[in-house]
Amino acid sequence: MELDMIDVGDDVMKLVLKGRLDAPGVDRIETPFSAAAASGGRHAVVDLSGVTFAASMAIRLFISVGRAKAGRGRKFILYGAQPPVREVLDHAGLAELIPIVADEAAALRAAAG
């Protein structure tokens, strides 16, 4: 599981996840991901296009980080999920809680909106 952080403006941080968000994968990146998402008080957009697998631990992580961002008045947006990953996010009802959009452009629009 890999995590990259990229500045995409003064107000937005892009987090790029690559690999498997299974229980061991989430264990590895939970702390740096949560810290990165919180850093600088910026909105966070998360690129999921390189995530090949996600299960309930990934949902738990996204809800936890999303709650923390919302508590600070910042946005937390997911984008680029591959179809099977998107199906799991949908089954979990995550889209009703956190914006999930198709691509980076849509994510940045949502962050700016």
3-class secondary-structure state, position 68: helix
- Nearest CA-CA partner of 15 in 72, 63, 25, 38: 38
Identify the DSSP state of 92. Answer: T
Q: Does 91 participate in binding other proteins (rule CB under 8 A)?
A: yes
Q: 21-33 in b/e burial notation, b at 16+ Cβ within 10 A?
A: bbeebbebbbeeb
Q: Per CB under 8 A, which region of 33-41, 43-51, 87-95, 101-109 contacts other proteins?
A: 87-95
Contact status: 46 vs other proteins (CB under 8 A): no
- Does 63 bind other proteins (CB under 8 A)? Our answer is yes
Distance separating alpha carbons of residues 102 and 4, to the nearest angstrom: 19
Q: Can you tell me which of 22, 38, 40, 50 binds other proteins, judged by CB under 8 A?
A: 22
Q: Is 56 in the site for other proteins (CB under 8 A)?
A: yes
Residues that bind other proteins (CB under 8 A): 22-24, 53, 55-57, 59-61, 63-64, 66-67, 70-71, 84, 87-88, 91-93, 96-98
